[in-house]
């Protein structure tokens, strides 16, 4: 289990944050991208349940995990993995932390570094809009939902494409991150609560005693 878990942190943590520098495109107020942006602009805190599905040429089968999440803009998140095993991912505004209790391991990431290659800033919001961060390659209504295929304006090894599915009102239901190696991470969101009361203390992380601490940058160097 430890070997399999160690192969995933870079892939999963890399989708947490993204930035891009670009000039926004003019779009109609009711097109899919604008509807999604309107929903993103309607809240500053978000909580709900998630399912994460990792597909990779190096994995024998899809890896499915689920749990609860909390987001407090502009830079804090908490992801409590519950199934099939307990894990905790926290972004505290300065660093990212992935705690793997079964492996007695903590993986620490540099938030500024992660901002250069990831996707979760789509939910964190910030100064960049959807069309400032992505080119809209395809968009439309399919089976009563909005579907968009997005290309990062600043592509990286960690993300070359983002597929997004939302309700007709623009509420994000899921997105799938494709990386340059052919890996995919799909996030699905349910039971969403907009602007719920959240305890700010839940966005801090204290390293438990006796665990191994590794830096995400070191794992990246070791990865083939």
| Position 168 in a domain | yes
Res. 89: pLDDT tops 60: yes
Kindly state whether residue 118 falls inside one of the protein's structural domains: yes
Does residue 140 lie within any of the structural domains? yes
Band of the pLDDT at 175, cuts 50, 70, 90?
A: very high
- The span from the first CA to the last CA of the chain, in angstroms, equals 19
CA distance 97 to 79: 10
Q: Which of 11, 25, 29 minimizes the C-alpha distance to 118?
A: 11
CATH number of the domain enclosing 20: 2.50.20.10
Domain range for 22 is 2-219
pLDDT tens for each residue of 102-131: 999 999 988 775 565 557 777 877 667 899
**Percent of the chain with pLDDT strictly greater than 90:** 68
Is 126 contained in some domain?
A: yes
Choose between 19 and 168: higher pLDDT: 168
Q: Is residue 34 part of a domain?
A: yes
**Does the residue 11 lie in any domain?**
yes
pTM for the whole thing?
Answer: 0.83
Tokens of 7: 């192969």
Number of domains in the chain: 1
Q: Is residue 224 part of a domain?
A: no
Task: Determine contact, residues 165/185, Cβ cutoff 8 Å.
Answer: no
């Amino acid at each position: 289990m430890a070997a399999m878990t160690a192969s995933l942190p870079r892939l999963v943590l890399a989708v947490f944050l993204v930035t891009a520098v670009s000039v926004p495109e003019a779009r109609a107020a009711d097109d899919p991208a604008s509807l999604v942006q309107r929903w993103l602009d309607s809240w500053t805190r978000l909580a709900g349940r998630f399912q994460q599905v990792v597909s990779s040429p190096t994995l024998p089968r899809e890896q499915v995990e689920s749990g609860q999440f909390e987001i407090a803009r502009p830079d804090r998140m908490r992801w409590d993995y519950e199934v099939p095993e307990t894990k905790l991912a926290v972004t505290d505004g300065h660093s990212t932390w992935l705690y793997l209790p079964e492996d007695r391991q903590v993986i620490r990431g540099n938030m500024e570094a992660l901002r250069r290659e990831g996707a979760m800033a789509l939910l964190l919001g910030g100064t960049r809009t959807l069309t400032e961060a992505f080119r809209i390659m395809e968009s439309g209504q399919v089976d009563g939902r909005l579907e968009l295929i997005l290309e990062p304006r600043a592509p990286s090894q960690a993300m070359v494409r983002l597929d997004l599915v939302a309700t007709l009102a623009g509420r994000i239901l899921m997105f799938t991150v494709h990386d340059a190696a052919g890996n995919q991470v799909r996030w699905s969101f349910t039971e969403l609560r907009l602007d719920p009361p959240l305890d700010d203390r839940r966005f801090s992380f204290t390293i438990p005693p006796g665990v191994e601490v590794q830096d995400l940058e070191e794992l990246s160097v070791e990865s083939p």
